[in-house]
Chains A and B, each alone.
Chain A
Amino acid sequence: MPFLLGVSATGWAGTSDFTGILGCVQEQQQREFLSWPYLLSVRREYLMKNGDGRKGERTPLERNGHGPLNEIVLMRSLSPEIKLYKVKSPLIAKKRKAGQFVVVRLDERGERIPLTIADSDPQGGTITLVVQEVGATTKRMGMLREGDKLWDVVGPLGKPTEIENFGRVVCVGGGVGNAVVYPIAQAMKAAGNRVISIIGARTKDLLVLEEENRAVSDELFVTTDDGSYGRHGFVTDELAKVLQDGPRVDLVVAIGPAIMMKAVCDLTKNYHIPTVVSLNSIMVDATGMCGACRVEVGGKTKFVCVDGPEFDGHQVDFDLLMARLRMYLPEEQQAMEVLEQKAEAR
């Protein structure tokens, strides 16, 4: 549980701390009264009474952002929980290569979230982001409208994908990973590879960028977990078939939920096929300054934001990655509750 604290009405720089704000605590100067469980209950009480303590309207945003940059010029729903955004960001549009990402912050109080650059238009000065609404920040992003601005867009970050003519490349995408794998498939194709794409989703409605991926692939297979579209099953089922029946595959690129990438790697290990995965660890600065994003690859600690995001999948400790992704579950839930309360109130 998140506990604490100073839901200060004046904000960080103000003079008040939670002892000042939460009048009830004020008299209790002794340490034992301010112990952890006590604070927790005070915190909860405060939230019940006052909501999340945010002042005024925050979504859609306090909209002065940074000049003409970061404006959402196009927004489109690809599925009930996945949206595509075209964002004005000329420098990044010019610079970015396949496999790189940006960090986005929605407003002054926002967290920094990493999002892959799915595509870019260097002439028009825009980048494309495809975002699945999984939690409070991505949901709030989904409430924006064309013309709104993102507060910060930083990038391009991370190392680009190593693109070469490998021969036969299988690109495997799962869920929103289909958007992340798309620019890589595109670049692989442009480098002369024979590209086989396998894209999957839980159900038909959630399948995104099918046409885009088809356009850059020599062959495309679709799977859905519930059989509502394409082959009934997981992407790994289709991949097993390709590996078994087809000619030798030279490289597999797998991008999706950690569990899917793990399953792909377990499979390709048996065939000794080099496999690249793009890791989605939790990040803060994304410039190599904090270590929040660390994972273990081949027994060594690596920072996904600067050493990655792509790694040799056979060396990645996926169990550690998955455990670390669960680090803030209670806080994520709380943030969602707060967001829902707000939506109801409105």
Chain B
Amino acid sequence: MAEKKKLNLKREPIPRQDPHLRAHNFDEVALGYSVDQAKREADRCLGCKKPRCVAGCPVEVDIPGFIGRIQEGDFIGGARVIKETNSLPAICGRVCPQEDQCEKLCILAKKGAAVAIGRLERFVADYEAQHQAVEIPPRAPSTGKKVAVVGAGPAGLTVAGDLAKLGHGVTIFEALHEPGGVLIYGIPEFRLPKVIVKREVDYITSLGVELKLSFVVGQTQTVDEFLNSGYDAVFLGNGAGLPYFMNIPGENYNGVYSANEFLTRSNLMKAFQFPEYDTPIKMGRRVAVVGGGNVAMDSLRTALRLGAEKVTCVYRRSRAEMPAREEEIENAEEEGIEFKLLTNPISIQGNEQGWVKGMECVRMELGSPDESGRRRPVPIKGSEFVMDVDQVIVAIGQGANPLVAATTSGLETNKWGYIVADPLTGVTSKEGVYAGGDIVTGAATVILAMGAGRNTARAIDVYLRGKRSA
């Protein structure tokens, strides 16, 4: 390792909006590095010969490679290096859980000062876009093969882009009226500005991909119909969009939302601008969000921005077990979100008109580890108490929506309804049908969905080339 270089353990902070201000607007919280800041941060990278960080990245971005370009001042070159393996750097730089991936393994992490890989990734991607340097690669000659992609989330968009570059004709079918999947309807503006998602989608369509919106596969047409009407292959990237509820009494009172509904109303339907936009959203004054993942953090912070007086996170384990990105938990704390940890709801109480007026909870303690290796929370007898809330948002996870699988013949699913597919090639039990992203793995991450898309595109390409023209 480059021992000669003097270790700089001062991580360059990222400028952020003031917490008092940002708690009331939907603008992006982290403002991004300036050129100087990016260079200072990049200079801390040791350019390890055997980079540990790369092993932590699900798609093995050449991290020292792109950071090296930043050191040289070649920012656009840096973006190109990342794009060799990651087609969505502006998005991943913002939403990847770097502290569990690349940055966790960084040699400097031991000293508590891992290189801010995600922020640098975001920097070069934004720089490239701002300087209009995004290149549209020449298209390979048309192969005459047609592929249908179901779902315009990160998995579907990646597959579509890669296959189009290889000369295949690709059509994406998306159920909602806007492309982007969770990036559009789930993750809020203040964490991932929608212009960035739009930019990525525009890029994909500039490659010649056709986008059919408001098309529900399984209802408008089925996968079998695609295969019988001239599509040579189908990719299923329909995500894990089915909201779970807690199955406790009172969950259907007015004022109880699934996180999906709450976030969709605010993000996709732009209800936070009602009545400028037509879709309304209920804004609670005292809001409880149940859950400890990214979805919960997004719901908490959206509720706050919609004007709630008090917003509380109710999570049954302790802070250490919270699956949300560390940075977002910190952001939430800074903005004044209250955390009631080791607490589990047991019922929701309503008034005579059917509106939420309280939530009964029980305190928990951590017992012995469960299958996931995390210590199992167990209720403490007699510790029940009632929280005074008028809105409850349930953010305890999502599962597989059965719509696509149920209408496709010969497609194998597991007991939770996820599609069974080879993790490396996306091959399913049905010939010509591939799958990847959350619909295979269960709710995971953007980078894993994108990575699955990448790998599957390669497998589909091989399949199509082997397939004789009909």
Contacts and interface: CB of A to CB of B under 8 A. Distances in A.
Interface stretch (B130-138, B305-313, B408-416, B455-463): B305-313
Interface in B149-183: 175-177
A291 B270 contact: no
Contacts of A35: 309
Given A111-B279, A152-B177, A291-B243, A6 B273 contact: yes
What band does the interface of chain A fall in when counting residues whose beta carbon is under 8 Å from B? 35 or more
Nearest to B335: A31
B403 A18 contact: no
Interface residues of B, number: 64
Interface string B240-270: 0111010100011110011011001100011
A4 B306 contact: yes
Interface in B267-314: 269-270, 272-283, 285, 305-309
B309 A291 contact: no
B278 A301 contact: no
A30 interface: yes
Contacts, number: 186
A211 B193 CA distance: 53
A157 B403 CA distance: 11
B213 A152 contact: yes
B243 A290 contact: yes
A91 B221 CA distance: 8
B272 A6 contact: yes
A13 B276 contact: no
B252 A294 contact: yes
Interface string B74-102: 00000000000000000000000000000
Interface string A267-307: 00000000000000000110111111011100001000010
Contacts of B285: 36
Contacts of A13: 189, 193-195, 198
Contact of A2 (B195, B220, B261, B274): B274
A331 B277 CA distance: 12
B260 A289 contact: yes
Contacts of A288: 241-242, 401-403
A12 B194 contact: yes
A120 to B, nearest CB: 14
B26 A157 contact: no
B220 A112 contact: no
A35 B258 CA distance: 25
Nearest to A39: B307
A284 B265 contact: yes
B175 A285 contact: yes
B216 interface: yes
Contacts of B281: 2
A327 interface: yes
A324 B355 CA distance: 9
B328 interface: no
A320 interface: yes
A280 B377 CA distance: 40
Main secondary structure of the interface of B (DSSP, over half): loop
B20 interface: yes
A66 B178 CA distance: 13
A110 B270 CA distance: 10
A54 to B, nearest CB: 6
A328 B280 contact: yes
Contacts of A8: 273, 276
A29 interface: yes
A153 B265 contact: no
Given A109-B276, A306-B403, A327-B282, A291 B354 contact: no
A111 B220 CA distance: 20
Interface string A3-32: 111111001110101111000000001110
A225 to B, nearest CB: 26
B243 A289 contact: yes
Contact of A17 (B24, B214, B219, B251): B24
Contacts of B379: none
Contacts of B257: 291
A334 B271 CA distance: 14
B25 A91 contact: no
Contacts of A145: none
B210 interface: no
Q: What 7 A-B pairs are tightest by C-beta distance, nearest first?
A: A17-B25, A323-B354, A331-B280, A290-B261, A111-B278, A291-B258, A111-B279
Interface of A: 2-8, 11-13, 15, 17-20, 29-31, 34-36, 39, 52-54, 66, 91-92, 95, 105-106, 109-112, 136-137, 151-157, 284-285, 287-292, 294-296, 301, 306, 319-320, 323-324, 326-328, 331-332, 334-335, 338
Given A91-B221, A112-B269, 4 more contacts: A287-B219, A301-B252, A327-B254, A327-B282
Interface of B: 18, 20-21, 23-27, 175-177, 189, 193-195, 198, 213-216, 219-221, 241-243, 245, 247, 251-254, 257-258, 260-261, 264-265, 269-270, 272-283, 285, 305-309, 336, 353-354, 401-403
20 contacts: A5-B273, A7-B273, A11-B273, A13-B193, A15-B27, A17-B27, A34-B307, A95-B219, A111-B280, A154-B220, A284-B261, A284-B269, A287-B216, A287-B401, A289-B264, A323-B254, A324-B252, A328-B282, A331-B274, A334-B275
